[in-house]
Amino acid sequence: MTTYSQGSREAIFVKRETHEEKRDEYTLRHTVASSCSPLLSTQHSALAAAEPPVAVQSVAAVGFTVSDMDRSVAFYRDVLTLRLVSDVEVDGPEYDQLYGCFGVRARVVRMRLGEQQIELTQFISPPDLRHIPVPSYSHDLWFQHFAIVVRDMDVAWAQLRTHHVRQISPRPQTIPMSNQVAAGIKAIKFRDPDGHNLELLWFPESKGNPLWKRGGGDLFLGIDHTAITVRSTEDSIKFYRDLLGLTVAGETLNMGTEQEYLDSLPGARLRVTGLTSKRGPPGVEFLEYERPAAGRPFPAGSHPTDLWHWQTTMMVPDVEVAAAQVRGMGQVISTGVVTLPDKVLGFTRGMVVRDPDGHAIQLVSP
């Protein structure tokens, strides 16, 4: 649960407390005034000193595999008001190489909310798929979600209930006044028809990215970030910051009653780290659970056709350079950098890789 500042990437760094100190206080990162920027520059001065050769320009889309495209499009259109951007079918040897699977024919749909996009993929062939494990929890390492900012949480929650959406949280959780930094921020987690995790966020007037303060009448404003569960924040920072050039925006320790009900996970206590790209949002958020500890790893033989497969598409200036950087740090799904026969997916060259915990990233160049 977080927000990112596009211009200055400022954040509050909340002191991490012991298990005994303020057990029930829920901490949360948010953007603040420029007076806090020295904290950020001091914490991450090494980053400014040596920018990596790969600098992710933007998180172009947050994507995942679906079982029924028409049902998924209807859900995101009718419940969350996303708008259709493109709807294509692809096949051929280049797409076999990109997805690391023989005989691919896939329907790929892009949808937009505000300035951010999601990408839904349904594999027409091969025909077999595996469903998300049940039960599935937020501390399992395959966990990923994206967070939508709303103008009015009560109205947005009513929209979920009207459409009988399955909720992870029993109701929106409000950060208590005892936490002055994040007091009043509201959040709720829920799932789409295939079981993909989603979150709604509402920020009081004094909090949140200025992007979410624009005028207008839309209820659902845009996508703030995508969050992934990680085993080690340090290892993930080495991959996303040191190799891919994302910027660390802040870190907090989240715990207490509100977090437990938000995640539907008793005793939840987690370290949260937010990163931004040059053009975000959306940003990327790490969730490292201290209690309960990191859960189950990705199921054996995980593949893009599985419904637990998410992939975050990141635009880079040169995908060949990016590929050289990440090799050795994670598993490569594609056969290598693939040149596509056209630009129907929004790019001409790309490669899908996994980070150290197994989360998929699609590195692309125009």
Q: Which residue has the tokens 């505000």?
A: 114
Q: Which amino acid is at 59?
A: V
Q: Is 13 helix (H, G, I), strand (E, B) or coil?
A: coil
Rg (C-alpha) for the chain, rounded Å, is 19
The Cα–Cα gap between 191 and 201 comes to 15
10-residue stretch averages of pLDDT, the chain, 366 residues long: 42 37 38 28 39 83 98 98 98 97 97 97 95 96 98 97 98 78 85 98 87 89 97 96 92 88 94 90 96 92 97 95 85 94 95 96 95
Q: What is the pLDDT of residue 2?
A: 52
- The answer to whether 346 and 305 have CB atoms below 8 angstroms apart is no
| Beta-sheet pairing, 310-315 with 173-174 | unpaired
Q: What is the pLDDT of residue 50?
A: 55
Q: What is the pLDDT of residue 16?
A: 38
Q: What is the pLDDT of residue 21?
A: 40
Q: Please state, in angstroms and as integers, the Cα–Cα distance from residue 175 to each residue in 27, 219, 240, 253, 349, following that order.
A: 9, 21, 29, 14, 43
DSSP-derived letter for residue 188 is: E
Going along the chain from its start, the domains and CATH numbers come out as 34-48+133-291 (3.10.180.10), 58-125+300-365 (3.10.180.10)
Q: Please state, in angstroms and as integers, the Cα–Cα distance from residue 46 to each residue in 57, 233, 241, 242, 247, following that order.
A: 20, 17, 11, 10, 11
- The answer to whether 278 and 316 have CB atoms below 8 angstroms apart is no
Q: What is the pLDDT of residue 175?
A: 77
Which strands make up the sheet holding 58-65, listed edge to edge? 83-91, 105-113, 116-125, 58-65, 310-315, 360-365, 349-354, 338-339
Q: Is 315 helix (H, G, I), strand (E, B) or coil?
A: strand
Query: What count of other Cβ atoms lies within 10 Å of the Cβ of residue 231?
Result: 16
Q: What is the pLDDT of residue 328?
A: 77
Q: Please list, residue by residue across 54-76, b when 16 or more beta carbons sit within 10 angstroms of its beta carbon and e when fewer do.
A: bbbbbbbbbbbbbeebeebbebb
The Cα–Cα gap between 330 and 104 comes to 23
The Cα–Cα gap between 265 and 143 comes to 13
- The answer to whether 281 and 222 have CB atoms below 8 angstroms apart is yes
Q: What is the pLDDT of residue 178?
A: 64
